Amino acid sequence: MLLNTQVKTYLQRSSWIRKMFEKGAELKKEFGADKVFDFSLGNPDLPPPSSIINEFVKLKELSSKPLALGYMPNAGLPQLREKLALFLSKEQGVSISREEVIITCGAAGGINALFRAILEPKDEVVAFAPFFVEYGFYAENHNGILKVVKTKEPDFSLDLGALDQAIGEKTRAIILNSPNNPSGQVYSEQEIKEIADLLRKKSQKFGKPIFLVADEPYRFLVYDGVEVPSILKFYEFSVVVSSFSKSLGLAGERVGYVLVNPDMPNKQELLAGLVLTNRILGFVNAPIIGQYLLLAGLGSLVDISVYQKRRQLMGQILEQAGLEFTWPKGGFYFFPKAPNKQEDDFITALLKENVLAVPGKGFGFPGYVRFAFCVPEETIKRSAEAIGKAVQNILE
């Protein structure tokens, strides 16, 4: 027995991810990579902007200096925290200072540092389904439990009645991912205000603050003039977690942050806890190269017009195939309903046509399928016939 029971169960629970990956590799080997349409991975494929690429040249010079790549403060480079605080003040419409921002190993590292700092054993974190599959693991990493509240069909808007029912004395945090992976939904200011009112009421009832956590790695990528409201203005016990994995094409370099609401009562306690948990989880600090790259590249973006074009193309293809879906307001995923809501049959029919997508059960929302459009435009165009055939086959 090499693994503990929990990790063994995890391996079984997430076996569909492995299966998809293996199936993709198998199909590519058999038919050639250009004959396989792999929409399964949310791996942002656009290169970083020139501000980042140019910085690499400067880093070569810097790296020869003593301690240039040495340990640094656990919360990140002070000059980066300063710059990020300014950037976030504009983005979030709230005045933020450098002490309120901690640089983390991506949003994933940030969420883990936060959960490690705030969860007591068996505390609950509420997420709205469909949700990013890793949330459950992250909560359990720190002895917490993920409690799932479904959003409403067909547009995945929030069910605040269900949220009200789900919150109890063990609730410690609500995590809100907007723009959402996989639904593409962006939650409105009205929805956020209602969550804030509810959390204030519940925090008072249970005699402790319930945190509202916004996970926003797709904030930069919205369509048709949609805006992503900030949660900070509406609720003082709020925390924003995000990263530059998608916006600057830096997913492998692991740079993100946790931003604590400047108006949170006693915020110094949480901030000190976060600096510590970032350290003792073994991250120590976010990668130094990534932090220098960010210092140079903050404010620039990958070419989002590429995503706009892909979204249009993919949406047309799914429409022509006769699938029902809501156009994503942000992010790079479509989450259409499987014909007759039979996602397994649909995934199998897609696989027969060499198309890979991810079943909705992976996001706590069965009956749907996720297509990630961070793949070249050509692949999307060429997939039209295959997706159309898969839908036809299933309906016959």
CA distance 28 to 90: 45
CB of 240 to ligand PLP, least distance (A): 12
Of the candidate residues 146, 148, 251, 384, the single one contacting ligand PLP (CB under 6 A) = 251
Does position 283 bind ligand PLP by CB under 6 A? Answer: no
Using CB under 6 A, pick the residue from 92, 112, 177, 354 that binds ligand PLP: 177
Following DSSP, what letter does each residue of 140-160 receive, concatenated? HHTT-EEEEEEPBTTTTB--H
Closer residue to ligand PLP (CB): 166 or 251: 251
Under the binding rule (CB under 6 A), the answer on residue 217 touching ligand PLP is yes
Q: According to the binding rule CB under 6 A, does residue 112 interact with ligand PLP?
A: no
In this complex, which beta carbon is closest to ligand PLP, that of residue 251 or of residue 384?
Answer: 251
Which residue in 245, 247, 261, 277 binds ligand PLP (CB under 6 A)?
A: 245
Q: Provide, rounded to whole angstroms, the least separation between the CB of residue 217 and ligand PLP.
A: 5
108 binds ligand PLP, rule: CB under 6 A: yes
Give yes or no for residue 328 binding ligand PLP (CB under 6 A): no
Q: Please give the helix or strand (H or E) that residue 213 lies within, else none.
A: strand 211-215
3-class DSSP assignment, residue 256? strand
Listed ranges 64-72, 81-89, 103-111, 384-392: which one lies at the site for ligand PLP (CB under 6 A): 103-111
Residue 351, Cβ density class (10 Å: 0-12 exposed, 13-18 middle, ≥19 buried): middle
Scan residues 225-244 and list those touching ligand PLP (CB under 6 A).
Answer: 243
Q: 182 or 336: whose CB is closer to ligand PLP? A: 182
Report CA-CA distances (Å) from 128 to 133, 197, 215, 314.
11, 17, 12, 25
**Rule CB under 6 A: is residue 223 a binding residue for ligand PLP?**
no
- Do the beta carbons of residue 245 and residue 217 sit within 8 Å? yes
Sign of the dihedral defined by the CA atoms of residues 130, 134, 137, 143, in that order: negative
40 binds ligand PLP (CB under 6 A): no
Residues in the chain: 396
What secondary structure letter does DSSP report for 329?
S
Phi, psi of 242 (to 5 degrees): -160, -175
Instruction: Select the residue whose beta carbon is closest to ligand PLP and give its number.
Output: 106
Position among 36, 75, 80, 107 found at the interface with ligand PLP (CB under 6 A): 107
* Residue 185 CB contacts under 8 Å (≥ 6 apart), including other chains: 151, 155, 156, 157, 178, 179, 326, 328, 329
Q: Is the dihedral of CA 54, 60, 62, 68 positive or negative?
A: positive
Strands of 58-168, DSSP E: 101-104, 124-129, 145-150
- For ligand PLP, which stretch binds (CB under 6 A), given 105-113, 165-173, 193-201, 288-296? 105-113
Candidates 38, 55, 91, 215; binder of ligand PLP (CB under 6 A) is 215
- Amino acid identity of residue 7, one-letter, is V
Minimum distance, C-beta of residue 362 to ligand PLP, in the bound complex (Å): 12
Least distance from C-beta 177 to ligand PLP, angstroms?
5
Site for ligand PLP in 156-175 (CB under 6 A): none
The single residue among 24, 106, 315, 364 that binds ligand PLP, judged by CB under 6 A, is 106
Residues forming contacts to ligand PLP in the complex (CB under 6 A) are 42, 106-108, 132, 177, 181, 215, 217, 243, 245, 251, 256
